Amino acid sequence: MDFRDLKLFLHLAESRHFGRTAKACHISPSTLSRQIQRIEEELGQALFLRDNRTVQMTDAGEQLKSFAQQTLLQYQQLRDGLGHNGPMLSGELRIFCSVTAAYSHLPAILDRFRAQHPLVEIKLTTGDAADAVEKIQSIEADLAIAGRPENLPSTVDFVKIGEIPLVLISPALPCPVRTQMLQATPDWAHIPFILPEHGPTRRRIDQWFRLHHINNPQIYATVAGHEAIVSMVALGCGVALIPGVVLDNSPESIRSRIHASDNTLHSTPFDLGVCVQKKRVNEPLIHAFWQLL
């Protein structure tokens, strides 16, 4: 088992899809399958449970995932340390953020970083911003862009890069939800809401429900990722409270089907920033990125 094997395994552990991992790693699915089987034979343990539809990790797979993350991290730290006195930084920097942040905030930071450190390879992973702190703590990412949690773990550092106001969005096209919203005093207890699974926005809307004594809100769905929520509102499924920047960066075909209000559900903006494990701030690549902020 070598570093390439560990990287392939970690990618598959994240994607849970042989086809996607094979494509991302530029190998055939059959080659990937053989390499995973070889690792399993070497360890004497099954790492994945697979059928025609799903790929799940075994307990042995979870243990190898932790080992692989730590091993690759230590190797990267060794390379950074050996090359710290060289003329230019090099290596891989893993960044996690939402699709929206990849458009709205990350490019300006990366433009400055890459101008100073052109040899550093950026590995960008997108997903639900509410998972950012977890990605940092599990060492699945070196840095992450996210809204500041109300209870930031003591092991995580956070630097603010902006403020994100929340907006209430509802369908703009004729539908039952639109009719309910056009009432002089909307009956919030009977209007369907589309909620994020967790994160700062979910906590804000839960607080609003409690403030207005709505004990049994009509929840149409809970969704991972604000981008998907916008699409569901555009289809007339319900209303939602989302960061305004998500709507601003949605396609025009979606925005034209949305009505936005920033004052119906009062909520103060939340801080957007970059987070990192405190014990890793002085690693050369992370420190260079952190200084730009």
Same domain as 139, residue 126: yes
Number of domains in the chain: 2
Same domain as 252, residue 241: yes
Contact residues for 216 (Cβ-Cβ < 8 A; gap 6+): 189
Nearest CA-CA partner of 43 in 71, 63, 28, 24: 63
What does pTM read for this prediction?
0.68
Please indicate, yes or no, if residue 152 is contained in any of the structural domains: yes
Q: What is the DSSP string of 14-60?
A: HH--HHHHHHHTTS-HHHHHHHHHHHHHHHTS--EEE-SS-EEE-HH
Please indicate, yes or no, if residue 124 is contained in any of the structural domains: yes
Please indicate, yes or no, if residue 278 is contained in any of the structural domains: yes
25-84 tens-digit pLDDT:
888 888 888 889 889 899 999 999 887 777 888 999 999 988 988 888 787 777 766 655
Please indicate, yes or no, if residue 11 is contained in any of the structural domains: no
Same domain as 122, residue 170: no
Write down the mean pLDDT value for the chain: 87
209-244 tens-digit pLDDT:
888 788 889 999 999 888 899 999 999 999 998 888
Please indicate, yes or no, if residue 59 is contained in any of the structural domains: no
Same domain as 133, residue 107: yes
Same domain as 264, residue 170: yes
| Domain containing residue 138 | 87-162+270-293
Same domain as 284, residue 205: no
Please indicate, yes or no, if residue 26 is contained in any of the structural domains: no
Same domain as 179, residue 110: no
Distance CA 24, CA 272 (A): 30
Please indicate, yes or no, if residue 14 is contained in any of the structural domains: no
Please indicate, yes or no, if residue 263 is contained in any of the structural domains: yes
Candidate from 115-124, 207-216, 256-265 with smallest mean pLDDT:
256-265
CATH code of 259's domain? 3.40.190.10
